[in-house]
Amino acid sequence: MLKTEQKPITDQLKKAWWKEAVVYQIYWRSFNDTTGNGFGDLEGVIEKLDYLKELGVDVLWLNPFYDSPDVDNGYDISDYYAIMDKAGDFNVFNRLMTEVHARGMKVIMDLVVNHTSDQHPWFQESRSSKNNPKRDWYIWKDGVNGGPPNNWRSYFAPSAWEWEEQTNQYYFHSFAVEQPDLNWENRELREEIYRMMRFWLDKGIDGFRLDVINLLAKQAGFPDAENPYTLDYLGNNPGIHDFLHEMHEEVFKHYDIMTVGEIPFVGPEDGVLYVGEDREELHTLFHFEVADDMPSWDMRRFKEIQKRWYEGLKGCGWNSQFLNNHDHTRQVTRYGNDGKYRVESAKQLGMMIHTLPGIPYVYQGEEIGMTGVRFPSIEDYNDVAMKNKYKEEVDKGRDPEEVFEELLPLSRDNSRTPMHWTAERNAGFTSGTPWIKTNPNYKDINVERALNDSNSVFYFYKTLIELRKNNDVMVYGDFEDLSGQDEHLYIYKRTLHSTTWLIALNHSEEEKECSLLKDYETSFDQLILSNYDNDENKRYKLRPYEARLYSI
Ligand code: ISL
């Protein structure tokens, strides 16, 4: 935990374009393949810009497409100044930027600067000798008692240290062995990163999503962890705010951009120190009190988290709202109902994320209610995190089938199967063989079908996004939870000046009485949006996974 500093208070949060945005995350390698090589590509993103414009999203977040050996699907970068062949080249990138901006949309890139690929020339130099000028650009330590320098695990391996024969030292990696951490204590390294960031910003991108950016500072002295399985010792260490403030001073403040930090292991008291408007660090953040720490839906816990973050950031900083991404399985499967009530549940989760305080993020396919997947064998999976964990557990002598079943629900590949465009072969994603199998339910769940169904999840999302464009209460409104400890009903208000909206959600498979609706005399002419048809007999009841938005 950081030493608690005075929470930054600003009297009035300033309006900003990024606060009013809806961000659409494009995992491009699974989005749209235009070459037939089985991988999506940047040309494929250009092809679908009119679809995204129709949906109404403002900002596109592209997962990394820098050159990479793809051990961790682009999060192991081997050249920050080159575009991965399978993604395209600078001609396509420049056209993508032109086409996005021509449609009044923006692009933010994924910035991965906590680590590089072990194939990056910087690391090749660093590992070559203890006297190499770039030795100190990475973290090297002598072993202790014939083993690693300490007991830390990494996200993707039992140890965060890898022995290097060439120089008889260990190097540090927070993720896979092939992802050595950069040493942010080294000023020369930091200057090089800032130069690289300006290179991309000067090409016209509109900001960054900053990968595990609170891990840049490491615990001084690298002491053993009390419990190596928590991993929280990897982040929020003294010095991190100096690095991020320097990044702001050297880069961010010179551009009109959006910066969203991926910040695991924080609650609002630490989170606000990254995004406080007078901190001059980041604009907003993804916290992981839900995605990493709430394995399945728990309404009471979710309400408590939302309330605590609203109060922790109110008047100081800006939150982001998401329930799934390329690392976390699809929300309608994990947190909703992907069976009988898939459509109602997908719409309900959408209404919740778009009406809670903060910037809403739509992960590709979420807008048509795509679901998680269950492939039959570990061989069908690609995720390095899942495959490393499977090997670690099976090597302990555990039953492979049991380990496989255990890892399935939260495998990152649940969200990485190809986007469903049509009911044609491979869901219209590729004319070739997809790099990962397509979810077999694409024949029923696909964009073509959604666009031809006025009652589809797609048009519900489109309406939510249009409402945000035309109603500041959704962006800047105060928030008040009215439903207390109810474990199924979530009833809350958003208020701005003379406008008050009421959101009423029933997160269950049973119809529920909702007496609160009587208190607001919610008449149906006040109903702005619902995922069910109006029924006068249901005025004070909420049907299974029903979601209603009223102006009261
Ligand atoms: O996947 C997770 C566990 O559920 C997340 O905690 C995730 O691993 C973590 O938030 C870091 O994610 C980011 O950095 C990783 C990369 O593999 C992820 O895809 C990226 O989102 C290393 O760069």
Task: Say yes or no to pLDDT of 12 above 80.
Answer: no
> Ligand 1 centre and the CA of 63: distance in Å?
12
Best residue among 327, 328, 361, 386 to mutate for probing ligand 1's pocket (most ligand atoms within 8 Å of CB) is: 327
- Residue 11 is predicted with a pLDDT of 41
- Residue 140 is predicted with a pLDDT of 98
Same domain, 319 and 388: yes
d(C-alpha 552, C-alpha 546), whole Å:
18
Which atom of ligand 1 is nearest to 326's Cα?
19
d(C-alpha 108, C-alpha 113), whole Å:
15
Same domain, 430 and 498: no
Contact partners, residue 218, CB within 8 Å, separation at least 6: 139, 172, 181, 234, 237
How many angstroms separate the Cα of 363 from the Cα of each of 1, 72, 74, 401?
Answer: 31, 19, 18, 30
Same domain, 335 and 413: yes
Beta partners for residue 409, in sequence order? none
Task: Say yes or no to pLDDT of 369 above 90.
Answer: yes
Same domain, 439 and 542: no
Which atom of ligand 1 is nearest to 114's Cα?
23
Which atom of ligand 1 is nearest to 155's Cα?
8
Whether pTM > 0.85 for this model: the answer is yes
In a domain, 89, yes or no: yes
pLDDT tens profile 267-320 = 999 999 999 999 999 999 999 999 999 999 999 999 999 999 999 999 999 999
Domain boundary among 137, 172, 207: 172
Contact partners, residue 405, CB within 8 Å, separation at least 6: none
- Confidence class for position 386, pLDDT limits 50, 70, 90: very high
- Residue 3 is predicted with a pLDDT of 39
Question: Could you give the percent of the chain with pLDDT greater than 90?
Answer: 94
Which tokens sit at 99?
Answer: 């086409």
Closest residue (by CA) to atom 18 of ligand 1?
327
Same domain, 361 and 400: yes
- Confidence class for position 521, pLDDT limits 50, 70, 90: confident
In a domain, 492, yes or no: yes
Same domain, 412 and 498: no
262 given a catalytic annotation: yes
In a domain, 513, yes or no: yes
Same domain, 404 and 530: no
Q: How many domains does the chain have?
A: 3
Same domain, 421 and 512: no
CATH number at residue 283: 3.20.20.80
- Residue 17's Cβ-side half-sphere holds a number of Cα atoms within 13 Å equal to 12
Mean of pLDDT values over 374-390: 96
In a domain, 54, yes or no: yes
Spot the catalytic one: 118, 211, 327, 413: 211
Mean of pLDDT values over 153-173: 97
188 given a catalytic annotation: no
Same domain, 516 and 433: no
Beta partners for residue 361, in sequence order? 23
Domain boundary among 104, 138, 172: 172
Same domain, 58 and 201: yes
- Residue 13 is predicted with a pLDDT of 66
> Ligand 1 centre and the CA of 309: distance in Å?
22
CATH number at residue 519: 2.60.40.1180
Please give the residue range of the domain that contains residue 402.
Answer: 23-114+187-217+258-462
Same domain, 444 and 333: yes
In a domain, 415, yes or no: yes
pLDDT tens profile 40-58 = 999 999 999 999 999 999 9
- Show the ligand 1 pocket: residues with CB < 6 angstroms: 72, 75, 112, 155, 175, 211-212, 262, 264, 292, 326-328, 412
Same domain, 305 and 447: yes
Q: How many C-beta atoms lie closer than 10 Å to residue 269's C-beta? A: 14
In a domain, 413, yes or no: yes
Task: Say yes or no to pLDDT of 10 above 90.
Answer: no
- Residue 8 is predicted with a pLDDT of 44
Domain boundary among 462, 489, 509: 462
Spot the catalytic one: 72, 262, 281, 383: 262
Question: Could you give the percent of the chain with pLDDT greater than 70?
Answer: 97
Closest residue (by CA) to atom 2 of ligand 1?
327
Mean of pLDDT values over 474-502: 96
Task: Say yes or no to pLDDT of 9 above 50.
Answer: no
- Residue 437 is predicted with a pLDDT of 98
In a domain, 235, yes or no: no
Task: Say yes or no to pLDDT of 1 above 50.
Answer: no
The one-letter code for the residue type at 368 is I
Computed over every residue of the chain, the mean pLDDT equals: 96
> Ligand 1 centre and the CA of 72: distance in Å?
9
Closest residue (by CA) to atom 16 of ligand 1?
75
Task: Say yes or no to pLDDT of 5 above 70.
Answer: no
Query: Whose structure tokens read 């009587």?
Result: 518
Least Cα distance to 290 among 274, 309, 273, 272 occurs for: 309
- Confidence class for position 520, pLDDT limits 50, 70, 90: confident
- Residue 75 is predicted with a pLDDT of 98
Best residue among 111, 208, 211, 216 to mutate for probing ligand 1's pocket (most ligand atoms within 8 Å of CB) is: 211
